[in-house]
Amino acid sequence: MRALAGGLALVLLAGPAAAFVPDAEKLTDAAGRANAADGRAATLRLSVALHTQPPGEAGAEPIASGSLLSDPGAGSARLDLMGANGVREVHLWRPGGTAAWRDGEPLPQPSALLPPLWLLQLRYGRSLRTALQGLGVSLEAPELGRSGEHDCFVIGGRDRAGEATGSSRRPSLWLDVYSFEIVRVDRADGARFRFGPLRAFGEQHLPGWVALEQAGRSPLYLEVLDAAPAQSTPGDFERP
């Protein structure tokens, strides 16, 4: 499957890259195949740690740790974090939006700590397209872009003026042009999630960390320590 995706990339990139960008259907189909090939198209429970600097750098001690449950079938996820100071936060994503609580009290403007990992768990392009539309991502006229070390196809298009000032609010999905791995997701509220290099956790290949970025706030990094298949119940995604 990986060879197929790589072969498709070579076909798509033959000739000047700027001359042709595949449509969103072809791109999401390829992304779904990459998700399936990496063995992560299932409900997963992750052990995670939250950092103020990239994991692996000298002195990168976690400020919180906990677990992340992500169910792509339900389109829901839950992040439980316990801070080094003893404060507990719960972040939920359910169809319709996010919500968060600190020590049981609702947070009116929570930090974007829960990455949309479920997008990396959808095995079919049609499911990914539905999920993207739910996030407000336009499926018209993808563009080319660059994020970090990745040349990307950008589903949803780009807000170049906003990118220049760090204030883009255009929801979009960024795919590596060679592997079709999802490497970045931009939300309509200005939050941005950049996915780090893949690591093997048993049969699942997942980003080793996710950069959590919001305008006006210092970036945070959610490190993935372990991952395993799991089962979820509707109660897992209710308010704490």
Q: Please name each of the domains of the chain with its CATH number.
A: 2-237 (2.50.20)
Q: State how far the alpha carbon of 206 is from the alpha carbons of 3, 99, 188, in Å.
A: 19, 24, 24
Q: Say what the pLDDT of residue 11 is.
A: 42
Give the model's pLDDT for residue 20: 85
pLDDT band at 17; cut points 50, 70, 90: very low
pLDDT tens profile 53-97: 999 877 778 999 999 999 999 889 999 999 999 999 999 999 878
Q: Write down the pLDDT at residue 133.
A: 95
Whether 18 shows a pLDDT value over 60: the answer reads: no
Mean pLDDT, residues 44-55:
96
Contact yes or no for 51/58 (Cβ under 8 A)? no
pLDDT for the residue numbered 60 = 72
The whole-number pLDDT of residue 181 equals 98
Residue with tokens 């706030």: 217
Q: Is the pLDDT of residue 31 over 80?
A: yes
Helix (H, G, I), strand (E, B) or coil at 60: coil
Which residue, 7, 26, 31, is CA-closest to 173?
31
* pLDDT tens sequence across 163-205: 877 778 999 999 999 999 999 999 999 999 999 999 999 999 9
At residue 2 the predicted structure's pLDDT band, cuts being 50, 70 and 90, is very low
Distance in angstroms (rounded) separating the CA atoms of residues 208 and 53: 14
Percentage of the chain exceeding pLDDT 90: 79
User: Token digits for 43?
Assistant: 């409900």
Which structure tokens are listed for 57? 């750098």
- pTM (2 decimals)? 0.90
Distance between CA atoms of 7 and 175, rounded to whole angstroms?
16
Mean pLDDT, residues 105-109 = 94
pLDDT on residue 93: 94
Cα 192 to Cα 55, 68, 163, 219: the distances in Å are: 18, 18, 11, 10
Phi first, then psi: give them for residue 174, nearest 5 degrees.
Answer: -110, 120
Q: What is the per-residue pLDDT for 97?
A: 84
Residues 6+ positions from 136 with CB-CB distance below 8 Å: 171, 188
- Residue 225 above 90 pLDDT? yes
- What does the pLDDT look like over 111-156, one tens digit per residue? 999 999 999 999 999 999 999 999 999 999 999 999 999 999 999 9
